[in-house]
Amino acid sequence: MNMQVGRVGTGRPHAVPAQGELSTCTPATPRWGIIHQVSEEMHEHRHAIRQAALAAGWSHRHRDVSGGWLRPTVFGAVDGLVTNTSLIAGLGGGGVRSHTVILTGVAALVAGAFSMGTGEYVSVTNQNELVHAEVATERTMHARFPAAEQAELADTFIGYGADAETAARMAAAVSQDPDTALRVHTREELGVDPFELPSAIVAGVSSLIAFSAGALIPLLPYLAGLPGMNTALGAALGIAAVALLTGGMVVGRLTGRPLLRSGLRQLALGGVAVAVTFAVGSLIGGGHVA
């Protein structure tokens, strides 16, 4: 800056900006105003892009893929339905009385429901404990070797297509927050989010209730007291077939698959199990197998 010396009031020297520098020494408000204006324009541009995409059908809503409730519910309902339908078909093929079918079917319902519920609870609990152990190991590595973990994160970003300089800045920014850094590392290395693990209680209760509901369906004709073993058996198999088809279509709706194809696949798989057990029951009950 070129300065000129002048005298003001008391006669002491006073620095005065040169003629051409008055504009450069003005407050920085206009410069920050321009930056703020550019930032606002960029924000509005991004907002406009999102709005246009939304109008065209863009969406970031996703189905639950964590396995928290969908997997145990679907698996439990299908397992209960197929298990008890097959069991009833086998008993019906053997020519047993309706009372025996009810007793056996209810016993299978209760035993299977608690087996599924406790099994699912233990399975999810063990899985979560394993994840927590691995996260603890990762947290220890972050505390002992922060530079190495940050370099590893930079390599990850490079693998996604960022250049080395950008990746290094991104890794440094993420590593400033230990929780964020730990979350990113566990997502990349373990494939899970340690803060969004499925609930073992939800999984266990969902499986227990779903199995009970599925196993109850083929028992309904017998509980209603339909006369004749063949009549009750035919009604049970018919209701189970409709339930399998409907359940498969519901699963198709949840997973985005074609509804009819999903329903028919479920019906076919259940039909195979029922046919095999009916044949076995017929062979044993009919005296063909000693």
User: What mean pLDDT do residues 77-89 have?
Assistant: 93
How do residues 222-244 score in pLDDT, each as one tens digit?
Answer: 999 888 888 999 999 999 999 99
d(CA 186, CA 130): 13
Residue 34, pLDDT above cutoff 60: yes
What is the average per-residue pLDDT within 12-18?
48
pLDDT in tens, 195-228: 888 889 999 999 999 999 999 999 999 999 888 8
* DSSP assignment letter at 246: H
Structure tokens at 254: 């949840």
Half-sphere exposure of 289 (CA within 13 A, CB side): 8
Interatomic CA distance for residues 12 and 32, integer angstroms = 35
Domain boundaries along the sequence of the chain? 70-141+201-285
* Whole-number Å distance between alpha carbons of 207 and 151: 43
DSSP 2: -
Task: Residue 38: count other Cβ atoms within 10 Å of its Cβ.
Answer: 10
Q: 186: pLDDT confidence band, cut at 50, 70 and 90?
A: confident
Q: What residue type is assigned to position 19 of the chain?
A: Q
Q: Is the pLDDT of residue 41 over 60?
A: yes
* pLDDT computed for residue 125 by the predictor: 94
197 DSSP assignment: P
For the chain, count helices (H), then strands (E). Answer: 10, 2
> Is residue 70 predicted with pLDDT exceeding 90?
no
Question: Is pLDDT at 54 greater than 80 in this prediction?
Answer: no
Is residue 261's pLDDT more than 60? yes
pLDDT at 96: 87
Beta carbons within 10 angstroms of residue 192's beta carbon: 18
